[in-house]
A and B are shown apart, each in its own frame.
Chain A
Amino acid sequence: MTRYRVGVDVGGTFTDVVFMDEAGEVTIKKVLSTPKDYSEGILDAIGLSLNEKGLEGREIEVVIHGTTIATNAILTRSGAKVGLITTRGFRDVLEFGRIRRPQLYDMEWERPTPLVPRYLRMEVQERIASDGEVLVPLDMAGVARAVRSLLEEKVESVAVCLINSYRNPRHEAEIGRYLASEAPGIFVNLSSVLLPEIKEFERASTTVVNAYVQPVVKGYVESFAQKLGSIGMVCPLLVMQSNGGVTPARRAIDKPIHIIESGPAAGVIGTLFMARRTGMENLISFDMGGTTAKACIIEKGEVTKTNEYEVGAGLNIGHRMLKGGGHVVRVPILDIAEVGAGGGSIAWIAVGGILKVGPQSAGASPGPVGYDLGGSDPTVTDANVVLGYLNPEYLAGGALRINADAARRSLHDRIARPLGLELVQAAYGIHLISNATMVRAVRAVSIERGRDPRKFVLWAFGGSGPVHAAHLAQEMEMVQVVIPPAPGLFSSLGLLFSDLEHHYTQTFWNKFADARLEDVNEAWTQLVRKAYDDLAWEGYANERAQIQAIADVRYVGQNSDLAIPLPNGSLRLESLAILREAFEQEHEHTYGYRVPESPVQFVNLRVIARGLRERPQTFQGLTRSLNPSSAACLPSRQRRAYFGPAFGWIETSVVSRDQLDHSFQEGPLIVEEYDSTTVVPPRCRARRDEWGNINMEVRRS
């Protein structure tokens, strides 16, 4: 019996359901999302696919789900009523945050409303010092009063975050026990359990976000699992996390903070997996859709992660370093930079006659003018139609008609004529300016992290990514571009390739000189034991359980730390010297210098636990059950495309991916397929590799 892995990616507009059999053959079903209850649309799509394939539910091995349920709960403020218990004198820490804002000079700015209003933030008398000493014992009568008030207010969820609890969790544990006995049925989150890391605001905010989305996520995941059961699917349900790994449904309910940014992660994991097979290990994944473009770096086969981000902050229109726009969640997340440039980004004219693109987007609705769906503002996609990059008659294999005249007219009336430009100049300008915006995302994950993008392969997907990839690469002086198969649906494919992943952390604030090896080893052993226990419980043992120990290390006095892998086995005396050297190497790599005379310290010890898939299936081919008419629309063989003043208009061959040879073909060339279009400019060349990827060699024009 063939067993299937099923990936389910729910977006705001479409839900993609992908089936992969043991041979790696993939089928994709795309349906409209059902925002009222997303699981309904999913169930329909799965049901249809099962029927089409003549499958039964028990033939499904696993369902992997990418969901925005947690994010939406925050964005729409529809999470639980949460109470917070904290140390006397610190009730306002959650509201203060780091007292910073993402925009300067803006008198109108408003702080995001805290997820727990002040009247639900209770203080109790107790105090623990930074060395763990109890300075003031916990006042249990005060705890009882606080809990009673919260219950009277009918909170559904309680977060507990006491000062210095990362160092000594005793008081939080006592409050936890009290809540368990006196307030059964209430969700309880202790910061010392969830995130035993220094910095009271970040810890409190993370704990509160978890408490806020937990009841919603629990309701959703449980009902989804039940519905799967009702159609005979009793397989495990895994949920995609922001860190690129998946987690069992039960743990997603325990720690929903890990699934908040699950959406963009799948595409990066798809990149990682597919690239690994081609032998590439240094890549920048680039995902350009309708509204935004996202970049993420993969170095030596590892995705770069960051330990903190803000939910609900919107796009980083200001500086990435300017924080304060959202709710801080401190969990490992793929380090993805996102900018407001997509196919739907609107072109406009600023005061003084300057051409601007985005960040406003026409999105999928009303969409670009050329879609004829009611859009009237010229967009990047319209410019790409005018330039001849996109098919002037239809997209999506004929599913979407293109009104090229409308696109031209709007671009002419709204942009070219007012600026006194030729139509093609205006269109090319829009293309270039949107590239300039995207360059900033790529720079953010590479140059700003001390990585030279020229040494990386640009791995581009998303509906618009392959249109812009070559020009973007030229801009960044990158030489190699890869467009994977099914670029427009690539994110959902990524779901199928992710392994289980859990993160564990413990602050261990010690200088190397002061750190006792027994203490390091003891702290580390505890984390590792917990990790193995969890993996075993979830059915991953022996060679399928992979543990990676990491120390966050910095020079004393620095504010950011670097993640340095710890050697396996326990640390010995010489290990600290090795660790220091590894840290200094990484420091030099990232920042360009070392400080040999400076003392070095531990900040956190962390463990990443991975449960590896049983049979590491590979992606072999793709059949679609999307649009039977797509076969009828063979690409026209040639059209004129504009490649800047240096080349002008060129009669350009248009081919399908299958028509691409294994040996290089010189550009200009346009590769048209169902879900995307790849532009190969002049002086660049492309070929199809044995895995079906389009490989492009890019030279600066």
Chain B
Amino acid sequence: MAKESRRDPITFELMQHAIAAIADQMAVTVVRTARSTVAKEVMDFSTALCNADGELVALGLCLPLMLGSIPPAVQAVLKRFRNDCHPGDVYVLNDPYDGGAHLPDIYMFKPVFIGDSVLGFSCTVMHHADIGGIAAGGISSAATEIYQEGLCIPPLKLFDRGKPNETLLSMIRRNVRVPETVMADISSQVAACSEGEEGLTALVQEYGLETTQWYLRDLLDYSEERTRDAIRKLPDGEFSFSDFLDDDGLTTDPIPIRVTLKKQGDELTADFTGTAPQVKGAINMTRSYALSSFYFAVRCILDPDIPNNEGFFRPLKVVTVPGTLVDALPPAPVASRVLTAIRASDTLLGALAQMLPERILACGVATDCNISVSGYYPDRRPFVQLDWLPGSWGGRPDKDGIDHLAGLCSNFSNTPVEVIEIESPLLVEEYALVPDTAGVGKFRGGLSVTRKWRLRGAEEAKVHMRADRLKFLPYGLQGGKPGRPGQTLLSANGAIRQMPSKFQITIKRGDWIQHQTAGAGGWGDVLGRDPERVLKDVRDGKISAEHARDEYGVALSPDGRSIDRERTEALRAALRKQNSRA
């Protein structure tokens, strides 16, 4: 209570503005100074500020799935360097089994000193263009041990009292395929960390050390209070849900993820017990990403003005069993762990839907598909082209899912076709929605999306593809149906064939690969769909007249421009009868 009274409503708000501005400024610095497309265009990075205990105080631009990964990383740094921490230090790590997530993600921390004491840490994490290992860009699912996935950096000093660690820097430079880009991006992370350091220092000049320290903790308490209030209002109980990954690319075994949400009072627990054991392929994830997925899912149902910081994590507990898919033990490979993080998020949202049926959207398709094409031009210049294809959003309690948008748990942009074509030997021949593929419902899911890559400007190229949802479909909710399955086609040697979800292959000039994502799930009873919406979809070519008739029970006039009310009623009556019989 004494604490309460100290919180000044004006200083609090000013402090919040100030630290949000610092974290944002760091993010802007990264975007402006980084070199790789992954960082600049896709914005696969996050910036953050932590207090002296390593608790997350503010996030700049942050990918939702990186949300929970920063605290374990800063804890790993504190464990190693708490007693060897000096002004001018910068710590770095990417070891998934010591604070990291997967090798391409490099975490960096700079302590902020006020006099002799640490006020906090300025943090950045960035997905780098390459980190060595068997696949360019580090997204292969072919590895079976972490050792094949590239350079692994335990918590180390990148700078020691302002002096760069040249040994480490040259090790990194020598172990990556695109050293200039990676080194520039590392510099950009350092620059952003320094921005954060300057910003926090200026904050102390403005408010004084004691007050700043106090608010760097109070901001967390405030988020915690508000999160607990919000959780208290949710129904108590246990809510379970399961979803599946198709396979790990090495075997064809389906991989279940199971979660039980336990809500009691003002705490919420996600228990992943029942999830598959860790697998041979590289889709395992470390516990930090189980945390991230959970934080993300809960964030979606909270008031957006609750500050995104560690206080919000406090009432949230995660139970994982070591040695499982969501809490892998070394030396399990983890490069493609984002796929599992996406599926874990799907599963968590599915469980939340049991608790809050009127709020949660049906299952969407996030960045399940990732492709890397690499090789050499005829003049021996190397090329690496990474591309990814998210699908669509699931149907929602009051509106359709959005057709082709970065997943709810991410916000990656696409790469323009013209940019791919000018920077790589590929030709992108199609990038479009696929009609009749959405999960039907009162509010349909978004459609499948397809993209087709043809090798045009090189004799051959190595392709790594990692996709999913070819077998297990994005679920519908409240009577809505799942979307149609995804598929991958390869045209080579004059034949077109269906490919598995994950594969590596060498293609020749003229060959093409086409992926079609799964359609997103629908929400609500299909017969409750407003026929006008069905008509509009037919007009727009998003569904066919046959699909409208067979799935939605909506008949259109012969010119397809209006609804045939009478026949529609008859069709729907028949479908209703059929349903009740079933």
A interface, CB within 8 angstroms of B? 89-93, 95-96, 98-101, 103-111, 117-119, 127, 129-130, 135, 163-164, 166, 198-202, 319-323, 349-356, 419, 421, 425, 428-429, 432-433, 436-437, 439-440, 443, 447-448, 450, 509, 555, 557-560, 590-593, 595, 597-598
Contacts and interface: CB of A to CB of B under 8 A. Distances in A.
Contact of B414 (A98, A106, A111, A350): A98
B10 interface: yes
A110 B399 contact: yes
Given A99-B390, A440-B21, A448-B32, 6 more contacts: A105-B408, A107-B360, A107-B361, A353-B9, A433-B14, A436-B14
B300 A164 contact: no
Interface stretch (B275-283, B539-547, B568-576): B539-547
A472 B539 CA distance: 54
15 contacts: A90-B431, A99-B405, A105-B304, A107-B361, A129-B456, A163-B418, A198-B419, A200-B417, A355-B12, A355-B13, A429-B9, A433-B17, A557-B36, A591-B33, A598-B180
Name the residue in B62, B406, B431 with the highest tally of chain A Cβ atoms < 10 Å from its Cβ. Answer: B431
B542 A118 contact: yes
Interface stretch (B264-272, B332-340, B422-430, B489-497): B422-430
B75 interface: no
Interface in B1-21: 7, 9-10, 12-14, 16-18, 21
A103 B300 CA distance: 11
B41 A355 contact: no
B421 A129 contact: yes
A320 B24 CA distance: 9
Given A89-B432, A99-B406, A433-B14, A354 B9 contact: yes
B262 interface: no
Contacts of A91: 432
Contacts of B542: 118
B10 A559 contact: no
A421 B9 contact: yes
Name the residue in B27, B304, B416, B456 with the highest tally of chain A Cβ atoms < 10 Å from its Cβ. Answer: B416
Contacts of A591: 32-33
Given A104-B411, A557-B35, A93 B17 contact: no
Contacts of B402: 109-111
Name the residue in B390, B405, B540 with the highest tally of chain A Cβ atoms < 10 Å from its Cβ. Answer: B405
B471 interface: no
B404 interface: yes
A595 B412 CA distance: 27
Given A105-B304, A555-B35, A560-B40, A92 B27 contact: no
B33 A95 contact: no
B418 A437 contact: no
B321 to A, nearest CB: 28
B14 A96 contact: no
B358 to A, nearest CB: 12
B504 interface: no
Interface string B188-217: 000100000000000000000000000000
Contacts of A135: 427
Nearest to B184: A595
Interface of B: 7, 9-10, 12-14, 16-18, 21, 24-25, 27-28, 31-33, 35-37, 40-41, 43, 60-62, 64, 180-181, 184, 187, 191, 222, 225-226, 229, 296, 299-300, 302-305, 359-361, 390, 396, 399, 402-406, 408, 411-414, 416-419, 421-422, 427, 429-433, 452, 456, 539-542
B314 to A, nearest CB: 15
Nearest to B62: A104
Given A99-B390, A99-B414, A590-B32, A106 B61 contact: no
B10 A432 contact: yes
Contacts of A560: 31-32, 40
Nearest to B63: A104
Contact of A352 (B225, B408, B427, B430): B225
A70 B286 CA distance: 52
Contacts of A163: 417-418
B303 to A, nearest CB: 8
A117 B300 CA distance: 30
B419 A199 contact: yes
B355 to A, nearest CB: 15
Contacts of B180: 557, 595, 597-598
Contacts of A351: 226, 229, 303, 305
Nearest to B301: A107
Contacts of B229: 351
B406 A101 contact: yes
B40 A107 contact: no
Given A92-B404, A106-B304, A356 B13 contact: yes
A616 B85 CA distance: 62
Contact of A319 (B24, B187, B417): B24
Contacts of B16: 354
Contacts of B33: 591-593
A425 B191 contact: no
Nearest to B416: A199
Nearest to B392: A99
B540 A117 contact: yes
Contacts of B432: 89-92
A133 to B, nearest CB: 10
A425 B10 contact: yes
A131 to B, nearest CB: 8
Given A99-B413, A101-B411, A352-B226, A92 B9 contact: no
Contacts of A355: 9-10, 12-13
A129 B427 contact: yes
B222 A352 contact: yes
Nearest to B349: A107
Contacts of A429: 9-10, 13
A322 B413 CA distance: 10
A443 B195 CA distance: 13
A100 B17 contact: no
Contacts of A598: 35, 180, 184
B17 A437 contact: yes
B431 A321 contact: no
Given A89-B429, A99-B414, A130 B32 contact: no
A354 B12 contact: yes
B61 A322 contact: yes
Given A130-B418, A199-B418, A557 B37 contact: yes
Contacts of B390: 99
A559 B41 contact: yes
A104 B32 contact: no
A199 B417 CA distance: 7
Contacts of B37: 557, 559
Nearest to A100: B413
A109 B446 CA distance: 14
A211 B303 CA distance: 40
Nearest to A202: B416
B582 to A, nearest CB: 31
Contacts of B429: 89, 127
Contacts of A90: 417, 430-432
A539 B430 CA distance: 47
Contacts of B408: 105, 107
Given A130-B421, A198-B416, A353 B7 contact: yes
Name the residue in B13, B64, B303 with the highest tally of chain A Cβ atoms < 10 Å from its Cβ. Answer: B13
Contacts of A421: 9-10
Contacts of A111: 402, 405
Nearest to A123: B432
Nearest to A111: B402
B431 A92 contact: yes
A116 to B, nearest CB: 11
B519 to A, nearest CB: 15
A319 B27 contact: yes
A364 B4 CA distance: 37
A553 to B, nearest CB: 14
A507 to B, nearest CB: 9
Nearest to B450: A89
